[in-house]
Homo-oligomer: A and B are copies of this chain.
Amino acid sequence: MSKKDNIVIIGAGLCGSLLALRLAQRGYKVAMYESRPDLRVTDISAGRSINLALSDRGFKALRLCGVEEKAREICIPMYGRLMHDREGNTFASNYSGREGEYINSISRGDLNGILLTEAEKHENVTIHFNTECTSVDIENTVAHFKDYNTKEEFSVDGDVIFGTDGAGSALRKSYYLERKFLFSYSQNFLAHGYKELEIPADKLGNHQISKDHLHIWPRGEYMLIALPNLDGSFTVTLFLSYDDGEYNFNNLTTEEKITEFFEKEFSDALDLIPSIKDEFLNNPTGALGTVKCSPWHYQNKTLLMGDAAHAIVPFYGQGMNASFEDVTVFDTILDTHEGDWEATFKAYEKARKEDTDAIADLAIDNFYEMRDHVANPLFKQKRKLEMDLEKTFPTEYFSKYSMVTFNEEIPYAEAMKKGRAQDKALLNMVAHHDLDTITDLKEALKKVQEETNEILEEDKIAGFR
């Protein structure tokens, strides 16, 4: 098999664009097809998160492809969460006790544009917009498309086809429907949906609330968050049940009820969202789903990557980072197996699957943490202790959040296992006042480590997988 293999990539979103760039750098001929128009010339943000959190796993992949600095130029650092209570009081909680560890708000469209432009600089890359993949003949590696402009249907035959076509992947659907192999597959929706709103910039073009934080209005049943944009605005996202509770998407159908809901639950935010009624009634409500599946590949012919293989809910800010990390891991596997696609695909899933499963589960955990626990005294005490430990022992203590977000050399699965045990140890020690008599932080660190290791050991003996 030659390096001149013709690669077809379905989907020119964040993962597809970065993959195209990397494969082009490795010398492959890449043809990429995207159902949407070119987002560099058309505004197509409606209904999708227009900003995202970029952190160290994402940067590592961007660095591999030589585009880290271009991305950093459009980043807004967020150093912690800023919680807003019902009375409008706020309190901050840093993401890390270490210097220089923060997450970044970045425009999905702008970043995608950078990646498309970089990919297109390679003469062995072609990008086709407004072409929707309708199905894939996986046996013959032929992808079928419909051109939205000409309305014509056409087919493309590649040596290998990558599906980076997102949570609604056409390639994945073909796996499911063609029934050529036992396909393990799950799609799980939360009872909550989401809706995007906007806090505009003030008259001078400045941010109206701190741009150094990810803002959270945690209310148990509901949650509002806001991430800053470069133009001084914030993208606000409301998470709300479709059906349950006093207020939900199905019953918030009148301007009166919407205003009542926001006045009661988010009055300080309401003051900042002038078009609340219009936006609430006109912006789409999105679903929050997790997709897992296996196998990701079919023989030596096709492979799912990014959200197409593992869509996750947004609550850990890791969706884009996980998809970019796919490219990092795939590149490493190619170093070993290049020339044998089936071996490459198998080794890639073996190396990657438990980590994407882990971040999917962690993201669900964080939904409950952000919604219910961040304002809980036990949780606040634990976070304070963790900040002190990270600050005092920057090379020895890493919270679960730090392992997931700032330590790209720790795989997600390991971060989950160790992080959950550590959280359990900390919460129980705080609840039982085990640390109240300890004045020396070094001693506290030792005790936390011992308890964490004991928990891991007990789980191991119990045979928990």
Q: A residues bordering B, Cβ < 8 Å? A: 182-189, 242, 287, 289, 292, 368-369, 373, 378, 420, 423-424, 427-428, 431, 458-459, 461-465
- For A186, the chain B residues whose CB sits under 8 A away are 184-188, 292
Nearest CB on B from A167, distance (A): 12
CA distance A449 to B187 in the complex (A): 39
Copies in the complex: 2
Partner of A189, one of B184, B242, B378, B420: B184
CA distance A292 to B186 in the complex (A): 9
- For A369, the chain B residues whose CB sits under 8 A away are 463
Residue in chain B with minimal CB distance to A421: B462
CA distance A187 to B188 in the complex (A): 11
Query: Are B189 and A187 in contact, CB atoms less than 8 angstroms apart?
Result: no
Nearest CB on B from A288, distance (A): 9
Partner of A423, one of B184, B292, B378, B462: B462
Known: A182-B287, A185-B187, A186-B188. A368 touches B465 (CB 8 A): yes
Query: Are A424 and B458 in contact, CB atoms less than 8 angstroms apart?
Result: yes
- For A188, the chain B residues whose CB sits under 8 A away are 184-186
- For A183, the chain B residues whose CB sits under 8 A away are 187, 189
Query: Are B424 and A462 in contact, CB atoms less than 8 angstroms apart?
Result: yes
Residue in chain B with minimal CB distance to A430: B461
- For A465, the chain B residues whose CB sits under 8 A away are 368
- For A424, the chain B residues whose CB sits under 8 A away are 458-459, 461-462, 464
Partner of A461, one of B428, B458, B462: B428
Query: Are A427 and B461 in contact, CB atoms less than 8 angstroms apart?
Result: yes
CA distance A188 to B188 in the complex (A): 13
CA distance A199 to B424 in the complex (A): 50
Query: Are A427 and B462 in contact, CB atoms less than 8 angstroms apart?
Result: yes
CA distance A420 to B459 in the complex (A): 11
CA distance A287 to B189 in the complex (A): 26
CA distance A5 to B242 in the complex (A): 31
Query: Are B428 and A462 in contact, CB atoms less than 8 angstroms apart?
Result: yes
Q: List 13 A-B contacts (CB under 8 A).
A: A182-B189, A182-B289, A185-B185, A185-B186, A185-B187, A186-B186, A378-B461, A420-B462, A424-B461, A427-B461, A427-B462, A428-B462, A431-B461
Residue in chain B with minimal CB distance to A369: B463
